[in-house]
Amino acid sequence: MRNQDQAQWQFGVAQDKVYLNNARWHPLSRGAEQARADYLDSKARGIWTPGLNSPESIAVRKGFADLIGAVPAEIAFVNGTTAGENLIVNGLGLDQPGEYNIVTDALHYDRSLSFYFELRKRGVEVRIVKPKNWRIEMSDMGAAINSNTRLVALSRISFINGFEHNLNTICDLAHAHGAYVYADVVQSVGCMPLDVRESGVDFMAAATYKWLMGDYGLGFLYLRQNVLPDDAPVPILAAQSEVGTADGVLAALTYSLPWIKSLGPVNIQRHALSLNATLRREMPRLGYPCITPEDAGGPIIAFTVENDQATAARLVAKKIEVGLYPGRMRVSPSIYNTDADVQALLAALS
């Protein structure tokens, strides 16, 4: 069975609607659903082995490590992406004022920005780089980062419009000033290539309910080996950062992670970009200007919207789901979506 045929068979959501909102949450595959059902059956019969040392936990930790070019000892289970980011900030002792600054940008995740605004209220110097033409310019990041910068925190792929940071360039810049780099990769890991060794990133986190095709309640935190000094304010080595395992999600991931690896994140990326190329060309002709930079490599593409209510009504009438926000539409196809889905969206908005 070809990858596309297999992907369409795996996801039943395609039978009920045109679902192009995978950046919000990714539907569960039939294989992952069966793995979770097997877990529930095992638990009901008292033969499930819970905990961090269960075969499933070990397999999932290794599966995620393999996906990003890490080793299992660098991976910790966390509740979600933001929980991982908070652990890093608090573990570095950056939650209190000091002679240092944190640099982030306005295309970072909104809940993360809320966290940094709270740190500002405590007296922490937080520098927020603003976008120009819907992208963060490296020159502006360079102007914000200095010898007092302790942490650069960003989203590799912005949830807002799909803007992509070049992690290699950011890491080189930050490390040259003695700063660490944290990356939120929830909108990139699983749907495009990511190699932590090549990028040089120090810390990153991702929930599993998006492109890792898991579910709510479980995520991963990556901490580069030997990145922290022995006298770090709070120990945040992977083994000390576990905050839960969510066994049902683990069960789903025992299927999803190997399946993603077998498909190849680069192939998932190419498929999404091929569909988005049509939207980039056709949506502006329908009155929806594109606000995603052309060099963005993630699966997200976004457009401005003049009439939110009329647009929403058209989509609902045709059973099409995208991310619709005040003045903005976000489309995020996955491996099971087809050109027919894209054409249905364009026809609904014509």
Whether residue 26 is contained in a domain is answered as no
Could you give the 3-state DSSP secondary structure of residue 18? strand
> Is 215:209 a contact under the CB 8 Å cutoff?
yes
pLDDT tens for each residue of the chain, 350 residues long: 356 666 777 887 767 899 999 999 999 999 999 999 998 888 888 887 766 778 888 999 999 999 999 999 899 999 999 999 999 998 899 999 999 999 999 999 999 999 999 999 999 999 999 999 999 999 999 999 999 999 999 999 999 999 999 999 999 999 999 999 999 999 999 999 999 999 999 999 999 999 999 999 999 999 998 887 665 554 454 445 555 568 899 999 999 999 999 999 999 999 999 999 999 999 999 999 999 999 999 999 999 999 999 999 999 999 999 999 999 999 999 999 999 999 999 999 99
212 and 282 together in one domain: no
10 and 87 together in one domain: no
φ/ψ of residue 286, rounded to 5? -95, 5
Tell me the residue range of the domain where 322 lies: 3-20+264-349
Predicted pLDDT of residue 131: 98
179 and 232 together in one domain: yes
Do the bridges between strand 18-19 and strand 320-321 make them parallel or antiparallel, or are there none, so unpaired? parallel
Predicted pLDDT of residue 43: 84
70 and 130 together in one domain: yes
d(CA 234, CA 151): 15
48 and 197 together in one domain: yes
Predicted pLDDT of residue 54: 82
256 and 285 together in one domain: no
Do the bridges between strand 101-105 and strand 149-155 make them parallel or antiparallel, or are there none, so unpaired? parallel
Smallest Cα–Cα separation from 201: which of 171, 173, 227, 175? Answer: 171
Smallest Cα–Cα separation from 199: which of 210, 188, 207, 208? Answer: 188
φ/ψ of residue 320, rounded to 5? -120, 130
Whether residue 201 is contained in a domain is answered as yes
232 and 282 together in one domain: no
Q: Which of 245, 261, 277 is the last residue of a domain?
A: 261
Predicted pLDDT of residue 44: 87
Number of domains in the chain: 2
192 and 285 together in one domain: no
d(CA 319, CA 313): 10
